[in-house]
Structure 1
Amino acid sequence: MLLSLRARLLAALALLAGCQPNSPATTGAATAADAAPADTIIAPSPADGITAAGLAGHIKVLAADEFQGRKPFTPGEEKTTAYLAAEFKKLGLKPGPDGSYFQAVPLVEITGTPSPTLQITGQGQPLRFNYRTDFVAFTEQEKPRVALTNSPLVFAGYGVVAPEYGWDDYAGLDVKGKTVVVLINDPGNAGPDTTRFQGRAMTYYGRWGYKYEEAARHGAAGVLIVHDTKPASYPWSVVQSSYSGAKLRPQTADHGASKCAVEGWVTLDAAKKLFTAAGQDYQKLYTAANQPGFRGVPLGLNGSVSVTNKLRSRTSKNVVGVLPGASRPDEYLIYSAHWDHLGIGAPINGDSIHNGAVDNASGVAGVLAIAKGFAEAKQKPARSIVFLAVTGEEQGLLGSAYYAAHPLFPLPKTVANINIDGLGTFGPMRDLTITGYGQSDLDDYARAEAQTQGRYVQPDQHAEQGHFYRSDHFSFAKVGVPALYAKGEFDSRARGKAFAETQFKDYEAQRYHQPADEYNPRWDLRGAEQDARLLFHIGQKIAGETTFPQWKAGSEFRAVRERSLTKK
């Protein structure tokens, strides 16, 4: 692919400065990174309206205490959505097709109060696990109270049924009306066999949402996931904060009746005690569960727990602004970011507001910065650009899933989605990490643009954590729209890879989904600016073309896209 004039100028400047321009590979397997370039100078920021200061301004507002952690159905939602609509209007963006900057998203809020203990009986001395310390429990059923009473416990391995991998943890196992206990992640994650599932890279089968759905499909009354920090990719404190208090669910015709009565998690320590009480060795069963042909094991124990609910059906909001295309306004490129976070929770170190500065005030700031870039550009895009700030991501991608099911603009005419979730805060980066690398042609757009910034492209360095399934691009991918989720993450230009990895791990352990995720005026947002500009230029390229980016051969999303395009 030929480099743009801007890329050639940057390369020449790099040579004048005594640096070698990068020469990453133009193609690569989904598990291989481009060659890291020699360091290059950072060109002055162009006057495109995208600045670190502008990003900081939006983050500071959205992550302020008065926005109360931006949880849907709270005053924080009203402040946030009003702010975003005002900013879209200020930029001259048009509202959605119904004349509103808002898309109504009907949800039900379930505030569940579990019983103080999960009681285990059946063999010897009964066990009592304490709420929050040892377990969390909740329900998606819209009932005043749900309960498991002496529900037989069954270990179902990873709780996975994957015909394409020849795997069925429920084979020959009767779990109707019972409670299944399952492991987090998937069978490919734990061992050295890289041919099992996708090796260390988590598949959708490893996600907690899938495990709850699969247990329900087999008629289970309850399902408990064993939390283990490494394969889960987050500590127990994240489970505590994410699954306590009010939870939002989509409004469904059956009011959640198709779901298990009780869903939840238990700590690894609690699980080991449970298996010991059942006369089983946890480690042996864990090892067995990772082998093909594993069959589930009734534990000979019964579990009892209840959840008392307060129900509230309300409507949340996605926020949408549109820059109509100059010549092909009926074709659409969507930039997305979720505006919501966790709201107010139990105090941690005296702070109860989950401000969500990185997650995801930074992503929303990125969308606003890119919108400003498009609005101020002299040449307007041929295709329409849709800027979409979605609700309920932290509750299970609810806003983007609703949009995908009820699109404001036809999906066959939606050429791509570019999603932003968590921009960097420690300066310019040499890498561009693509989550879901190898899935679509959008990798090639990203690689070409990364070259102009003296950067290289690589796959997600922690694919075992399943990030591809944890943000809103996944909702678009599931309905066939090629989606890009890319940012600088693992190679600091100034301090290198080890420093970036330390920053990544520190954020995951100390700030992710915790009140400590606050705006810090000492952040270096030049890397965030760099990423926003890169995604802006990718959008300009796509918006000026007549072709559609495609899924790569072998992508699980290719077939649904092909079916969609035949309906154009």
Structure 2
Amino acid sequence: MRLTNLLGALAVGALAACATTPPPLPQADVEHIRQQLEYLAADELAGRETGTPGYRQSAEYVAGQFRALGLQPAGGEDFLQEVPFRRASWDGREPTLVLQGRDGDITFRFGEDFVASPPTTAESTAIAAGLVFVGFGIDAPEYGIDDYAGLDVSGKIVVILSGRPSSLPSEVGAHYASSRTKRQTAARHGAVGYMTLNTPQREKRSPFARAVEHREDASFDWIGADDMPGNAIPGLHPGVYLDMPAGRQLFMGAERSLDTVFTEVANGLAPRGFPLPYRASLTSGARHEQVLSPNVVAVLPGSDPELKDEYVVFSAHLDHLGKDAEGRVVNGAQDNAAGIAIMLETARLFVESGRAPRRSLMFVAVTAEEKGLLGSDYFAQHPPVPPRAMVANINLDMPMLLYPFRDIIAFGAEHSSLGQTTARAAARAGLRLSPDPMPEQVIFVRSDHYSFVRQGVPAIYLITGREAQDPAADGTAMQNRFLRERYHKHTDEADAQVDYVAAQQFARVNYAIAREVADADRKPRWYEGDFFGELFAPGG
């Protein structure tokens, strides 16, 4: 290129850059965030447990905040999307499990040999069928794993090891190791029931005794228009979880003992399955109660005629745990009054910027996260807009506003172009994007954003990073101390632990991310070949 042409091209490029340089990021208002966080984390709301008056009051408060900002209800005249739930409790009835063999019956004891949850599918259930061991119960052909190969489980109860083989990558493995996926796989192969056993490695991390402590807990699920629980699998009896000594009974007289199977797992092998020489008879019963608890949904309409029917969805869970065993209110200031307050402030920044986003923004305060991501699951399957109109999800769950920070973490950043967007937005806010510091926790599949991922929507989940602005502060130690001393405890209060400079930073970077996603010419996309994109959004 001739020098004059090069200079001319550079000049044109400079003018274009000036013309497209985004305006400075707005400053978040600390007092707004403080007021909203303190209201939601007050004792008067009694811990915001799903379906309680305290939760209802918090939902009405958030709806009022949306209304005051001039946002629009989504899909109707009300900001509240009522979610129908079913609560199932034992009501004095206990499930039964009897092992039937050639030498007679063995009756297992509830709360000692096995535990189960009250069934949400029916108030009385019963099943009797033969048993087949299916290893980890995973069918992942893309990774060369088929634990059902050569086994006939049609009409049988499958016996499944918890966890996954070491050969599966962590997040992929977490998907396949989830109870939901294993139940779906079992039913797809014709099973009518399932039992779960810990491996010794799993027992060390999550002992059977811990499950026994919760044997009287109620079950919870949302209910569809067909009156069926959203997570139920028709034809599959509710499962049971066995202690190891009881599990060994199932393998007595089989071609391999349970301890032999455990040795194979310890040596990194994926144990193959085989029939077990027993039948099992299971009964279960429950008292059902209907509960309504709303998601709170608002929209800021987009301005671009071509893009306004696409929605960037912010989500944050509004519910918490209610009270602890000693009757103390568990207010959940960081988890997740903070996330709701940040979402509200992000909405305010957009409204007061005077510059409508090109795409529409949807703000969703979801219920029943603490019950198993149920509110977001219901919303993602019953959105007030066409499902494919949701093009991105940004999730805010327990951001840990503990200190002014230099970096942010976006779980899921490596799966879609939202990661690149987040890195650029963070730089605009004077921050950097750090990698997941705890990949072994597989956070990507454990919060509300995953409900959107399962519907094919690219998503990220944001928390503050571990690098504090103060060189003398150890961000990792502060986060770990919060998780150890306050997380899911009555000590998670709106007190001096909440750093409002961090809150201001976090709202600002959320605005920057959403602004770029909403105004970009191209919607976010899964990276080519990404496991979750291929699984949940084929051809998307």
Match of 2:392 in 1: 416
SS of the counterpart of 1:326? coil
The amino acid across from 1:248 in the alignment is D
CA contact (8 A) 2:113 2:246 kept: no
Which of 136, 139, 147 matches 1:169?
147
Q: Deviations over 1:133-168 (max 9, x none)?
A: 76531254532223456x655443222111111112
Residues 157 and 286, structure 1, Cα contact 8 Å, conserved in 2: no
Per the alignment, in what secondary structure is the counterpart of residue 404 of structure 1?
helix
Matches within 5 A, 1:237-386: 237=210, 240=213, 244-251=217-224, 253=226, 255=228, 256=232, 258=234, 260-266=236-242, 270-271=243-244, 274-275=247-248, 278-279=251-252, 284-289=260-265, 294-298=271-275, 300=277, 306-328=283-305, 329-344=308-323, 347=325, 350-351=326-327, 353-386=329-362
State the 1:552 CA deviation.
0.8
Partner of 1:203: 174
* In structure 2, C-alpha distance between the alignment counterparts of 1:200 and 1:412, rounded to whole Å: 24
Cα distance in 2 for partners of 1:239, 1:487 equals 33
1:235-263 Cα deviation digits (max 9, x unpaired): 77588559812412333637346153222
The superposition leaves residues 30-78 of structure 1 with CA deviations (integer Å, 9 ceiling, x where unpaired) of: xxxxxxxxxxxxxxx9863342x54343233223333233233222331
Name 2:8's counterpart in structure 1: none
Structure 2, unpaired ranges of 5+? 1-13
2:82 counterpart of 1:104: yes
Preserved CA contact (<8 Å) 1:145 1:306: yes
Which AA in structure 1 matches 2:80?
Answer: F
Q: Hey, what does 1:523 align to over in structure 2? A: 498
Q: Give, in whole Å, the separation in 1 of the partners of 2:401 and 2:441.
A: 21
Matched to 1:209, the amino acid is R
Q: Contact 1:432–1:458 at 8 Å: present in 2 too?
A: yes
3-state DSSP of counterpart to 1:253: coil
Equivalent in the alignment of 2:514: 539
Deviations 1:488-534 (A, max 9, x none): 2444443689x444445455555544555444433324334322221
User: Which region of structure 1 is more displaced relative to structure 2, 451-460 or 470-479?
Assistant: 451-460
The 3-state SS of whatever aligns with 1:366 is: helix
SS where residue 461 of structure 2 aligns?
strand
Structure 1 letter corresponding to 2:145: W
Cα distance between partner residues in 2 of 1:201 and 1:491: 28
Change (3 A) 1:481 1:464: same
- After superposition, give the CA deviation of every residue in 1:392-422 in whole Å (9 maximum; x if it has no partner): 2233332222222222223433332111111
Say if 1:557 and 1:529 are closer, same or farther in 2 by CA, change over 3 A. Answer: same
Gaps of 5+ in 1: 9-44, 189-195
* Cα deviations by residue, 1:326-372 (Å, 9 ceiling, x for unpaired): 33433321111122233346x1xx23544333332222122112112
Secondary structure of residue in 2 paired with 1:262: coil
Give CA deviations for 1:293-324 in whole Å, capped at 9, x if unaligned: 63124555666664321113444322111122
**Alignment-mate amino acid for residue 520 of structure 2:** E
After superposition, the Cα gap between the structure-2 partners of 1:242 and 1:129, relative to the gap in structure 1 and judged at 3 Å, is closer
**Which amino acid in the other structure matches residue 340 of structure 1?**
D
Does the 8 Å CA contact 2:184/2:233 hold for their aligned counterparts?
no
Q: Whole-Å Cα distance in 1 between the matches of residues 480 and 363 of structure 2? A: 31
**Any conservation in 1 of the 2:302–2:361 contact (CA below 8 Å)?**
yes
- 1:480 is paired with a residue of what secondary structure? coil
Identity in percent = 32
**Matched position secondary structure for 2:47:** helix
Amino acid in the other structure paired with 1:521: A
What secondary structure does 1:395 align onto?
coil
Moved more, 97-106 or 250-259: 250-259
State the distance in 2 between where 1:258 and 1:49 align.
Answer: 48
SS at match of 1:136: strand
One-letter amino acid of the counterpart of residue 406, structure 1:
H
Aligned residue number for residue 405 of structure 1:
381
SS of 2:73's equivalent in the other structure is coil
Q: Are positions 1:555 and 2:533 aligned together?
A: no
1:183 equivalent among 149, 161, 176: 161
Residues 30-179 of structure 1 mapped to structure 2, 5 A cutoff: 48-51=27-30, 53-112=31-90, 115=94, 128-131=108-111, 135-147=114-126, 154-176=132-154, 178-179=156-157
The question of whether the paired residues in 2 share the 8 Å contact of 1:201 and 1:462 is answered with no
CA contact (8 A) 1:118 1:129 kept: yes
**Distance in structure 2 (CA, Å) of the matches to 1:239 and 1:529:** 43
Change (3 A) 1:320 1:303: same
Q: CA RMSD in A?
A: 3.8
Aligned mates of 1:239, 1:492 — CA distance in 2? 40
| Contact map agreement 1:340 1:390 (CA 8 A) in 2 | yes
Which of 473, 476, 495 aligns to 2:449? It is 473
> Which one has the largest radius of gyration?
2
> For residue 319 of structure 1, what is the amino acid of its counterpart?
V
Contact 2:311 2:361 in 1 (8 A): yes
Asked if 2 retains the 8 angstrom alpha-carbon contact of 1:344 and 1:354, the reply is yes
Q: AA paired with 1:145?
A: S
1: CA distance, partners of 2:78 / 2:258: 55
Letter paired with 2:502:
G
The size of the alignment, in residue pairs, is 507
Q: Over residues 176-226 of structure 1, what are the superposed CA-to-partner deviations in whole Å (9 max), with x where a residue is unaligned? A: 5554343333213xxxxxxx2215764310222222332333323233253
Q: How far apart are residue 424 of structure 1 and its match? A: 0.9
CA contact (8 A) 2:136 2:164 kept: yes
The corresponding residue for 1:392 is 368
Q: TM-score, normalised by structure 1?
A: 0.77
In structure 2, relative to structure 1, the CA distance for the partners of 1:518 and 1:408 (3 Å cut) is same
Whether contact under 8 Å (2:187, 2:233) holds in the other structure is no
